[in-house]
Amino acid sequence: MSNPSIEKVRNILIPVLDEFVTDSAIKVNCERIGVTEDTLTIRQLSKFAEKIKITLLLFLEEEKIEKIVQEIKNLKIEK
């Protein structure tokens, strides 16, 4: 994946989930908001973060999920 938004999300998720689960969660939640991993933009990260919260409930405690969701919402891409 070469999308900078996705790479930043992966960097947040891989330490708490494994790489396979991270990539699967990203793919499913991109589809939920009508985009692909290649087309997700920084502006869509807030919506994406809200959707991925549901997936993360399968793997993590709510407190950890809220921290991760906030990290995703706060992402910015350096130019």
9-57 per-position pLDDT tens digit: 999 999 999 999 999 999 999 999 999 999 999 899 999 999 999 999 9
Angle, in degrees to the nearest 10, between helices 62-73 and 4-13: 160
The tens digit of pLDDT for each residue in 50-62 reads 999 999 999 999 9
Tell whether 17 is covered by a domain.
yes
Domain containing residue 34: 4-73
Residue 20 falls within a domain, yes or no? yes
| Summary mean pLDDT of the chain | 92
12 Cβ partners below 8 Å, 6+ apart? Answer: 68, 71, 72, 75
Name the domain count of the chain.
1
| 78 domain-assigned | no
Selected residue with higher pLDDT from 76 and 1: 76
